[in-house]
Structure 1
């Protein structure tokens, strides 16, 4: 996962989208269909390689989660890239299954790393509270919530979660991984078609973070909890059994943001630095 490309290789960026319904997530898993496996296998076939070329991705989406703006990179031998460059995109289109599309294939700038160069990821979670349920043509991308939802109450709750925090209460912990994240945006809107969309943007997300945040705010929106409750859960720093991890099919990775090419190397180094929260100031002693 180096930022430096080995001599004789070319780093290639792929922008892609997929419907997550038929996949056990992004990451390759033995005996399971995954997005990574499908794309790596297609690359192997169209470049006539003996082994798959390993992809590095911006966000390892979970089983059932969709993507419109996923980004990955792969290092190809320079000779392979030179021969395939003009035809690689079209060949991938013909080889990949219909639930994966590659929108762009191109040589990446120096120091580009799909994962560590990213400065933010933006997801959208879609919910319907219509008493009749979800439009059958959208049922694979919208969660039905069987209670009327108060958008203003959910946005009030969301304001208390913005900024840099330890989101341990909303994440499934992984060995050696930090749960400190900077939540840049969290906002609900009811769109003209009646669908409620939560836009969630952060520098990165820990496992189940978006789906847990949405689950907490739905409890606020339907009146089961006050707007202050999600912030109280965050401050407590431990999982609350009342916070439900909502189903994955309502979630879509919409976009990944990267800095200017001249800032890529610095961003990679910053991303690899393990974060800690600033120490709390000393509390003055009482008289």
Structure 2
């Protein structure tokens, strides 16, 4: 980019009050709030149409690793931003820090409390937040049966009154591992496909450990907030729209005894969308991590992912 640089932005957000990641007219979104904060920090003023007045002073447009749906959270989302160096330097002001750190500090004061920026750094050559990613890791959290769900976690955990059969749920979930057409559990983007490669899945009960106790006598032990929760961790190269939540919902039906493992296996084998494979509520889902290759492989990874997926 002539006279410019690419920034990598790592951030987290509580998705409860957002209409997803992507900017939508008249709706509150993560992308919209982030781009507004970036514009303010770099003194970019939008026209009434939301477009910067000149090509030399462009409105900040970020590209994200994975668009999250309405109500879905992220503990470690990644995006990138192309920005002219002279525009980036406007964020420094009177601070004696690099421009990237100055920008992070300024937007951290501008952003609402349900978004937090971990870091802003100059991206390596060839980095693309979306296409360079190797893996995305999502976790879905469930409080099942008579177990107490800490009320502080109510916005991040799905409450399920049934006692779930974790063994059956794992047997079903393992059917999703590998390269499949997930058309039963997802909807493609225009011109896209629902073919994805799932690398690993696991339903597991969170341990009932405690925080470190300075007295060491057990009298003042404090349990972890997540103790006893049921977690679904899934790792894939990428995910289609609603794919993770739909897989979760199908697994929950198996865990409740309403559907069989054979039914789940059949939905993988025959990718047809129907009522039983709709998505679980968004509240329990969090994007936990995005993994990238070594810097030398970023560009080649991006080039290979841009090719349309097939099952061959």
Question: What TM-score do the two structures reach when normalised by structure 2?
Answer: 0.85
Match of 2:112 among 97, 103, 111: 97
Q: 2:68 aligns with which of 61, 64, 67?
A: 61
Cα distance in structure 2, aligned partners of 1:105 and 1:19: 19
Task: For residue 174 of structure 1, report the CA deviation from its aligned partner.
Answer: 2.8
Unaligned residue ranges in structure 1 (runs of 5+): 1-5, 279-287
Partner SS, residue 184 of structure 2: helix
Alpha-carbon RMSD? 1.2
Q: Distance in 2 between matches of 1:158 and 1:106?
A: 37
Contact 2:11/2:118 (8 A) holds in 1: yes
Residue of structure 2 equivalent to 1:108: 123
Aligned to 1:26: 21
- Kindly state the Cα deviation for residue 133 of structure 1 after the two structures are TM-superposed: 6.0
The equivalent position to 2:195 in structure 1, one of 176, 180, 189, is: 180
Quick one: distance in 2 between partners of 1:133 and 1:191?
Answer: 13
Equivalent positions of 1:226-241 (< 5 A) are: 226-241=260-275
TM-superposition CA deviations, 1:240-283 (whole Å, max 9, x none): 322231100100000001001100111011110001112xxxxx
Structure 1 residue runs of 4+, over 3 Å off?
A: none
Per-residue deviation, residues 85-110 of structure 1 (Å, max 9, x unmatched): 14111111111100000000110001
Show the counterpart of 2:171.
156
Match of 1:73 among 51, 56, 80: 80
Matched, 1:252 2:286: yes
**TM-score, length-normalised on structure 1?**
0.92
Distance 1:133 1:176 in 2: 45
Supply the distance in 2 between the matched residues of 1:166 and 1:151 (Cα, whole angstroms).
25
| 1:47 aligned onto 2:42 | yes
